[in-house]
Structure 1
C-alpha cells in the first residue's frame, strides 16, 4: 500500500448483538428440550419452555415480560392524571388574584360588582373558565394569564392527537388558530371521503398533505398511514379519559371547549375522534390505566403515558406467544428497545435464532401427525450427551479402564500386516515409519516421504456380535420416585454407544408396565408416565427372548432396569393379569422365562433401583436361577452401571 498509512478507529458496537459474542449454544438448548421431553413434555411445549426460561446468558420471554410489567407498574405508581386541571387551577387562581388587586385599587360600584361576580364563580375549574371567557378583564396581567390558560388547553388537546403540535403552537396567534381550525375541517372531509370509499381519496390526500403537511412530521405515505397514526393517539386519549373519574372527565370536557378561546376547535377534535373510532374499531378504545402516583401529567403527557402502557401491553402479548399462530417474529423490536433497552432486543433475537436454527439444522421436525418432534439427529445429540456423562462417571471409578476407546476395536494381538482398503484397525506407527525410512533410503531423496504401501495396521482379536435387550420398567413408581429421566438417559446413552461404536450389535429397547412393548429410542424419550398398576417383567422377558432368537449368531445379553417385583404376567390369550402382592403364578411364569433365556446362553443383569425387600429377594432368585448379576445403583449412577456392565460383557467375550 502506497502513501500515508491508513488509520483505523475502534468504538462501541451499536448495530444489535455483539458480533464477537459466541454463537447460540444449540447443544445446551437441545439438552434442555430433551430433558423436558424425557420428563413427559411434548417437543412443542419443551421448546416453548426453553423460550420462556431462556438459556445461559440470554433472558427468556418470561424475564422480558416481567421487566415490562415492572416498568408498567412504576409508570402507574409515579404519575397521576390531574396535571392539566391542576395547572388550569393554578393559572386561574393567579388570574383572579391579579384581577382582584386591580379592582381593589378602583373606586365605584362597577369595581364592587365585578368583585361579587368573581366571588360567585362555579367551584370547578371548567365552569369558572367558561364564565370568564366573556369577562371584561380590568387587569392586563390577568387577561394575559387567562389567555395562557386557553392557549395551554389548546396546545394540550392538539398534542394529544398530533405529535409535536404543542411546541409548534407555544406562541399562538389568531392566524395560527385559524390554520388549525382549517386543517381540522379539511381532515374531517378527507376522513368522511375515505369512509364513503370515494375514488378520488388519493388525490384528496395529496392535496391535504400539500396544504397541511407541516402538522404531520411523521410524513404518512397514504391516507391509511395517516389514519393509523391518528387513531392510535386518539385511542390513547380515550383510554386516558376512561382512567379518570366521571367528575374529572366532565371537567375536562368543559375545559376543552375553551381551547384557544374557540369552541370550534374542541368540537372539531371530538368529531375527528368519532370518525377515527368508526374507521379503526380494532384499536383499544375501552382500556384504562390506574395511575396512583403524586407526579401530575398534562393531557398530552398523560396520553403519551397511555400510549406507552398500550405499547407495554402489546409487547407483553407478543412475548407471551399465547395467541394462535404466534411467532417470535411478531415481536416489535423497536418498541422493545424503547421500553427495555438494546440488551432486551439482543436477547429476543438470540431466542428467535435458537428456534430458527433448531428447525433449520433438522433438530426439530414435523411428524406424520403434524406435531413437532425431535428428529433422529436430535436424538443422536442427546444420546451423545448422555453417553459423555456416563463415560465421565465411569472414568471416576477407581480401577476402571479408560472407556473413551472402549469398543473401537478388539484386543491387540501384537502382530501387524500391510494396510488394505476397508481396514478399520489402528495404524502401527512404528512399523509404518520404519517402512517409509527404508523405502526412501532405497529410492533416494526424490521418493515420497510417506506412501500408502508403507502403512501397516495392528491386528486385533475378532470381536463377537451381541444381541442386546434393554428392558426398562415404566410403571408409575418410576415416575413417582424420580427414576423416570435417569432411566431414559440410560437408554439414550446405551443406544448411542451401540449405534456409534458397536454397530454390529443388535439393540432392542423394551418397556414394561402392565404390558410390555418394543420401542425405538425416540418413542422412549417422548414416553409420558401414566398411572397404571403392574410390573410385567414376564412380558418384557418374552420380548427379549424373541429378540435374541432373531439373532442366533449373536451372544445374547439381557439388561433389566426395575424398581419393583413382578406384579403382572401375560396369559396365553394375551391378557395381562395384575395382582399385588404378586401371585405364585406371576412369579412362576416370570422365572420360567428367566430359565428360557439362560438356556439360550443369555447374560442376564438386573439393575435394582430402590430398597424394596421383596424386590431384593426376587432378584436374588433370578441371579441364582439365571446365573446373572444384580447391581443396585443410585438413580444418578444407573447409566454408568448399565453401560459399564455392557462393556464388561463385551470384554469377557
Structure 2
C-alpha cells in the first residue's frame, strides 16, 4: 500500500514515549526518615542500603555488602598460602631420597662423596634447589622428579604474574618459554612507549593479536591490561607479606631463581617497576590473614588474594560511609567478578533511583551538600498532612483529606457566571444547560462559549496571617520531640499552601536566636546545638509578619518544650540565662502584650511538663486569652492542625 507508514524500534536514544521513571515510592520512603529527623543525605543512604520499596527482587547495599563479606570469609577459609613452598619441599625431598636409594648399594668413593654432597645441602629450599641445579643425578627417577619440581616452580611463578600461564606452560617446550620472553619484552617496550606518549591503540591491537591467548581476561586496551597485571602483581606481594619471615625468604628465593633460570628476571623487574609506578594506590605489601587448612599453589593463592583485595575495596565503596561517597565509586567490574551479573543489575537499579531523584527535580547538590528541592518538600508536606488527617477523628471533627475541595470555602448551593480570576470550581451542569439553551450546535455536539460558564459559589473566607513558632533548642532533641515538631511544621505549611492559598504563612524557628524558615529548608532542618530559648526574638519576627498583613486575621501558634531563657538586646546580641532572668520574662511578655493589641491569639503547645514552663504559659494565656495544649509528642501535628482549622472555620 503506497503512502503507508512503517513502525519499528526506536534507536536514537531513550524511548521518548516511555513513561517517566516512578520515584514516588522511593521519595516517600526517604520522607519517613526525613520526617523522623534525618538529613536528606542520610535518608538517601538509608534508602539505598535497604533497597527499593517497589522492587523487592532487587538487593540494596546492605544485602550486597553481606554477600561481599560472606565471600571474603569463604576465601579466607579456603586454604593456606604456602602450598607451592610445601609441594616444592616435598618434591625436593623425594628427589633426594630417590638419589640416596640409587647411591646406597654402590660401595665406591664417588657414591660416598655424592652422599656427603647431599648431606651438606642447606636447609633452605631455594638454596638447596640452586645448589642442585648443576648436580649430575645418578638416579633417572630423581632427575625426573627434580625436573618436575622446576616445571612446577616455572609454571606457578609465571601463573602468579599472568593468570592462566600455568596451563599454557604445561608442555615443557623451549619454544613456549621463548614466546613468553618475547611477550614480556614487547609488553615492556609498549609500556615504555606509552610513558613517552607514543603508544596507540593499534600497537595494543597488534600485541593482543600475537599474544592474546596468554591473557584470558581479553583486555580491550592498555589501561585494562595494566590494571589487570597490577592487581595480580600486588596480590603476589601481599602473598609474600602474609607468610612467615622464613617462608617469605624461601619463596622469594624460589621466585628469583626460577625467573633467572627462565631468562625472565630482568624483564619481570622492568614490568614490576612500571606497574607499581602506574598503580601505587594498590595495597602492595598489606598482609592478609588466612585460616584455611588446604595448601594452595602460588597461582591459586595469588588469585584468592587478588579477589580478596577487590572485595575489600568493594566493601569500602558499598558502605558509603566516607565524605563525598557516591554509588559511582562502586567498581562495576569488581562487583561483577565478585557477585555476578545480577549484582550489577541491582547496583544499576540503585544508581538509577539516585539519578532520577536529581533529574526529576527532587534532589539537588549544592557545594557538595545534598538538599531537597521545593518540589520534594511539597510532597513531604503532603505526606505529613495525610498522616495528620489519618489520625483525626473524621466523625467528630469533620476534617478529612479531600482532594477536590475548593480553596475559597465550602459550597453555598448556588452558582453564578464565571468572571476572570475566579478560583471556584466550575458548575458543570449549569454550564452545559446554558449552552443547550443557547442552542448553538455543531452536528451532534454542543458548542460552549465563555458566557456559558458558571462557577459554584462558596462561603467567603477571610485571609489569615499565620505564624508558627517552633523551638529549635537542644532540649527538643534530648526529649525526642524535634522530629514531630518538624513534621508538624511541614504539615501546616502543606495545609495552608493547598487549602488556604490566600493565607500568608511564616514559620519561625528559635533557639538562642530566631530566624524565618523557608519551606524548602524545613525538611532538611536540624535542631540547634546551642543553649537558649529566645521566644522574645521569635515574637518580634512574628509581629513584623502580622504588621505586613494588617487586613489579615492573625494566627500565632507556639511549639516549645521550655520557658524563655534568652532575649535580644538593643544591639542585636542574644543573652542567655538560666534560670530565666526577670528581664527575659518581662521582654517576652511585653511582646505577648503587643500580640494581644494586634488582636492575635497565641495558642501554645507544650511538649514538657516543667513547672516553670506551666507558670509561664498560664501567664501568656491570662494576658492574651489564648489556649494552652499539652499533647503527647506523637499527637502534636493533630493538635496544631485541628486548632488551626477550628480557628479558620470560626473566622469565615
| Residue 350, structure 1, aligned to residue 349, structure 2 | yes
Query: Which is worse superposed, 516-525 or 106-115?
Result: 106-115
Query: Out of 564, 567, 572, which is 1:566 matched to?
Result: 564
TM-aligned CA distance change 1:615 to 1:450, over 3 Å? farther
- Could you say if the C-alpha distance between residues 403 and 242 of structure 1 is closer, same or farther in structure 2, counting changes exceeding 3 Å? closer
- Compute the displacement of 1:27 (Å): 1.6
**1:158 equivalent in alignment to 2:155:** no
Q: 3-state DSSP class of the match of 2:424?
A: coil
CA distance in 1 between counterparts of 2:476 and 2:186 reads: 75
Alpha carbons of 1:567 and 1:212: their partners in 2 closer, same or farther (altered >3 Å)? Answer: closer
Aligned: 1:424 with 2:423:
yes
User: Post-superposition shift, 1:411?
Assistant: 2.9
The 1:425/1:306 distance shift into structure 2, 3 A limit, reads: same
Kept after mapping to 2: 8 A contact 1:30/1:378:
no
- Stretches of structure 2 lacking an aligned partner (at least 5 in a row): 1-18
Greater alpha carbon shift after TM alignment, 598-607 vs 426-435: 426-435
1:648 paired residue number = 646
Q: Is the CA contact 1:235–1:283 (under 8 Å) kept in the aligned structure 2?
A: no
Q: State the shift of 1:258 in Å.
A: 5.8
Does the 8 A contact of 2:408 with 2:500 survive in 1? Answer: no
1:389 is matched with: 387
> Number of residues paired by the alignment?
627
| Mapped pair 1:448 → 2:445 | yes
1:304 is matched with 303
**Matched residue SS, 2:631:** coil
Equivalence for 1:6: none
Counterparts of residues 548-627 of structure 1 (less than 5 Å): 548-570=546-568, 574=572, 576-627=574-625
Structure 2 residue 387 is the aligned partner of structure 1 residue 380: no
Q: How many Å apart are 1:189 and its aligned residue?
A: 5.9
1:401 aligns with 2:399: yes
The aligned counterpart of 1:7 is none
Name which of structure 1's ranges 582-591 and 234-243 shifts more when overlaid on structure 2: 582-591
Q: C-alpha separation between the residues in 2 aligned to 1:389 and 1:103?
A: 94
Q: What does residue 250 of structure 2 align with?
A: 251
Residues 210-225 of structure 1: pairs in structure 2 closer than 5 A: 214-217=213-216
Rounded Cα–Cα distance in structure 1 between residues aligned with 2:349 and 2:71: 23
Q: Confirm or deny: 8 A CA contact 1:394 1:403 kept in the other structure.
A: no
Query: Alignment partner of 2:163: what SS?
Result: coil
TM-aligned CA distance change 1:188 to 1:532, over 3 Å: closer
Cα distance per residue 1:549-599 (max 9 Å; x no partner): 222221111111122233344455655454444455544443443333333
> Shift of residue 506 of structure 1?
1.0
Name the counterpart of 1:28: 28
* TM-score where L is the length of structure 2: 0.83
Is 2:490 the partner of 1:492?
yes
* Cα distance in 1 between the residues matched to 2:606 and 2:205: 82
Residue matched to 2:474: 476
Tell me the alpha carbon deviations over residues 140-171 of structure 1, each in whole angstroms, 9 at most, x when there is no partner: 33332222111111111111222222112212
**Any conservation in 2 of the 1:545–1:597 contact (CA below 8 Å)?**
yes
Whether contact under 8 Å (1:622, 1:628) holds in the other structure is: yes
For residues 349 and 397 of structure 1, do their structure 2 counterparts lie closer, same or farther at Cα, with a shift above 3 Å needed?
Answer: farther
| Cα distance, 1:205 vs structure 2 | 7.2
Contact 1:623/1:629 (<8 A) preserved = yes
1:517: which partner in 2? 515
Aligned residue number for residue 10 of structure 2: none
Q: In structure 1, how many angstroms separate the alpha carbons of the residues matched to 2:598 and 2:201? A: 88
Q: Does 1:263 align with 2:250?
A: no
SS at 1:296 equivalent: coil
From the superposition, tell whether residues 175 and 608 of structure 1 become closer, same or farther in structure 2 (CA, over 3 Å): closer
Q: Indicate if the aligned counterparts of 2:539 and 2:592 stay in contact, CA closer than 8 A.
A: yes
Q: Does the 8 Å CA contact 1:151/1:259 hold for their aligned counterparts?
A: no
Contact 2:507 2:518 (8 Å CA) reproduced: yes
Q: CA deviation at 1:616?
A: 2.4
Aligned CA-pair RMSD: 3.9
Alpha-carbon spacing, 1:52–1:175, altered in 2? closer, same or farther (3 Å): same
- 1:183 and 1:371, CA in 2 relative to 1: closer, same or farther beyond 3 A? closer
- Between the aligned partners of 1:531 and 1:222, the Cα distance in structure 2 is 54
Secondary structure in structure 2 of the residue aligned to 1:134? coil
Kindly report which structure 2 residues correspond to 1:37-436, keeping only aligned pairs within 5 A, or say none: 38-39=37-38, 41=39, 43-44=40-41, 47=44, 51=48, 56=53, 57=56, 60-61=60-61, 64-65=64-65, 67-103=67-103, 114-115=114-115, 117-184=117-184, 197=196, 214-217=213-216, 227-256=226-255, 259=258, 263-265=261-263, 267-268=265-266, 270-277=268-275, 279-280=277-278, 282=280, 284=282, 285-319=284-318, 327-366=326-365, 371-395=369-393, 398-404=396-402, 408-419=407-418, 422-428=421-427
| Shift in CA distance, 277/541, structure 1 to aligned 2, threshold 3 Å | closer
- In 2, the alpha carbon distance for the partners of 1:401 and 1:227 equals 68
Return the offset for 1:630: 1.8
Structure 1: gaps spanning 5 or more residues: 1-18
Distance of aligned partners of 1:179 and 1:544 in 2 relative to their CA distance in 1, 3 Å threshold: closer
